[in-house]
Structure 1
Amino acid sequence: MDGHGRTADARASLAAGLSWHPAGTTDLPDWAALIARTAAVELPVWFERRDDLAQILASKVNPAAANTVLGRDRQGVPRAYGRITKNPDGDKAVGFGCVDPGWQRRGIGTGLLGWMEQRTRERFAEDARAGSASADRPPRLRLHTEQQHDHQAALFAGSGYQVVRYYNEMHRPLDIGFPEVELDDELELVTFGPQLHEAVRLAHNDVFRGNWGSEPRDEEGWGFVVHDPLARPDLSAVVLERSSGRVAGYQLASHDAEGAVSRGFSEGYTDLLGVRREFRGRGIAQALLADAMRRFAAAGLDKASLDVDSENPTGALALYTKMGYVAVNRSMAWDKEL
């Protein structure tokens, strides 16, 4: 095993006329250009940009030197990349990557999957040696794809992955009025800000405890949320219990101004929405969504949007539909036990 934790077998799986190395700071411009070039052809709903990649390079839990790989051609142009991320106590690693459209169908995607799988095995072994709670679980790699990307689905299915979950992207126009929702006097809605970062992190971990696919967010993972380049705290809100100051619910939003140009409309996107169990049934989620719509509209945006697990047991899909959201796209999560 070399200094970056990649075995000879993993390196061999990447052989495809490209020179491979971990991504670093000097790679940022070319790395971002590769992703943008691929996105211009494949038209995903969202893709990583330079500021996102800079965040990835700053990770201490998933250091880029061991968990990223970038392939350059003989002229030094990046043509493919892959990375994995894993929480130390998590039951899965999650893989990301792309191949330059002009270099697809050469086996590079298959090679990247092989590297991700090998690196996932290594991460599970490393965590087990460190006494992780995931030590007794088999290595598992999760990948995501949008419904329209048939070539990715074919690659994943052909490599032994199975769809384990479907997600619906939902939109609601902001020119049709807003629901009127009032909170009871014991609750207060406030704008999200730095003073609430930790309290909302703890609330989020509480809300999603035991939910399918969810893992607790540590401080670094939460930093990726609140310091995301697209994060908009001014479009986000928190509901507090007046007597205790406790977080009852939250809605964290973002806005992608560049994406609005390519998609032909602007949207406020609800990244996270949650209500603590003991506060449910009091209209908090509805109030947060209605507040988000007003904030988005006041910012001059066209639509409110979010994603929802199609099998969410809390009835979220029915709630969003009642609030005027309509499903417009579908994505899938794929798993493979290694």
Structure 2
Amino acid sequence: MAETDRPGWVEDRADLEHILARPNDDPARDTLLGHDSKGTVRAFGSVTANPGSGRVLGFGGVDPQWRRRGIGTAVYQWQAARARARLTGKEKGESVLRSFAEENNASHVALLSSVGAKVVRYFTEMTRPLTGELPNVPLPEGMEFVTFREDLSERFRLAHNEAFLDHWGSEPRDAASWKFTVTHPQFRADWSFAVVEKASGGIAAYQLASFDPETKEIFGYTEGYTELLGVLRDWRGMRLTPAMLSEAMRRFRESGMEHAGLGVDTENPSGALRIYEQLGYTPVTRQITFDLPLT
């Protein structure tokens, strides 16, 4: 599927192992394989949800040679049925099955549109060459960068949950999901850091970065990727985002990366898209978020 669809990101073995080991899901009921008469896998599906959440995420796909036979619709219908079965009636907010499709994957977009799911958001993947002069945005007086360390991981997690408390579609990350993020083979601790207020020792902002070696094959360049970036409410408006990204670019280039990349919620009210454009990032691909109401 990846060879045909050329998505910006593809699950590797560690991601798939994580799917089967998520503590809040039951792989016997929350994952699905479709195989042909010879036992070759031709389709897959999975659903996942946080405890108490009404938002169920669905993932799946069909072997390109087996598409246009109704298999994708069958996988989606299974996802919707399984998502409804997981609802307890105690969820907070609206209950939906949420799916994601690359905008340039016409068949996937058409499938989600045909089953009654509605477009609710767009996310844009952006990149910036690291040639020439890089932005140089200093931190405010009294603040410093502190590189990620394992003993600081829990403080990073709490800072992330606080920073994303008011972000669309975000839910707090528990210790297990956070551990997966910071122990993933693609995670780069040396590129990840917090902005710390020296006087109090408090984390004002943070950036986590990763490196996917397949980016070179997909896009033609190596790329340091900003996986997560957040600024806590009390420190917003101090230009910490451009300061962090300029520091990330410096670290990426020193490690031999050719580009810096990130993803952005296109409708983010904080003006993040405009900030990234001012720093030289340009769009590469766009992902569409679809929701199907479950109640």
* TM-score, length basis structure 1: 0.84
SS in 2 for 1:148: coil
SS in 1 for 2:24: coil
Cα offsets for 1:233-287 (capped at 9, x unmatched): 1111111111222111011111111232232111111111101111112221111
Cα offsets for 1:187-231 (capped at 9, x unmatched): 110111212211111111111112211111111221232122211
2:251 counterpart of 1:288: no
The RMSD of aligned alpha carbons is 1.3
Alpha-carbon separation, structure 2, partners of 1:139 and 1:242: 43
How far did residue 133 of structure 1 move? 4.4
Alpha-carbon separation, structure 2, partners of 1:222 and 1:65: 24
Residue 156 (structure 1) aligns with: 112
The answer as to whether partners of 2:215 and 2:223 remain within 8 angstroms in 1 is: no
Q: Decide which structure has greater helix share.
A: 1
Residue 74 (structure 1) aligns with: 37
Residue 2 (structure 2) aligns with: 39
2:52 counterpart of 1:89: yes
How far did residue 310 of structure 1 move? 0.9
SS in 2 for 1:172: strand
The answer as to whether partners of 1:95 and 1:141 remain within 8 angstroms in 2 is: yes
Residue 290 (structure 2) aligns with: 334
How far did residue 322 of structure 1 move? 1.1
The answer as to whether partners of 1:231 and 1:253 remain within 8 angstroms in 2 is: yes
SS in 1 for 2:256: coil
Q: 2:21 aligns with which of 37, 58, 70?
A: 58
Residue 234 (structure 1) aligns with: 190
The residue identity in structure 1 corresponding to 2:182 is V
Higher RCO (C-alpha under 8 Å, 6+ residues apart): 2
The structure 1 segments of at least 4 consecutive aligned residues displaced by more than 2 Å after TM superposition are none
Q: 1:114 aligns with which of 77, 86, 90?
A: 77
Gaps (5+ residues) in structure 2? none
Q: CA separation of 1:216/1:174 partners in 2, compared to 1, >3 Å: closer, same or farther?
A: same
Alpha-carbon separation, structure 1, partners of 2:155 and 2:217: 35
How far did residue 291 of structure 1 move? 0.7
Alpha-carbon separation, structure 1, partners of 2:55 and 2:101: 17
Alpha-carbon separation, structure 1, partners of 2:272 and 2:32: 37
How far did residue 328 of structure 1 move? 2.1
How far did residue 46 of structure 1 move? 0.7
Among all aligned residue pairs of Structure 1 and Structure 2, give the percentage whose two residues are the same amino acid. 45
2:12 counterpart of 1:49: yes
Q: Decide which structure has greater strand share.
A: 2
Residue 193 (structure 1) aligns with: 149
Residue 16 (structure 1) aligns with: none
Count of residues in Structure 1 that have an aligned counterpart in Structure 2: 294
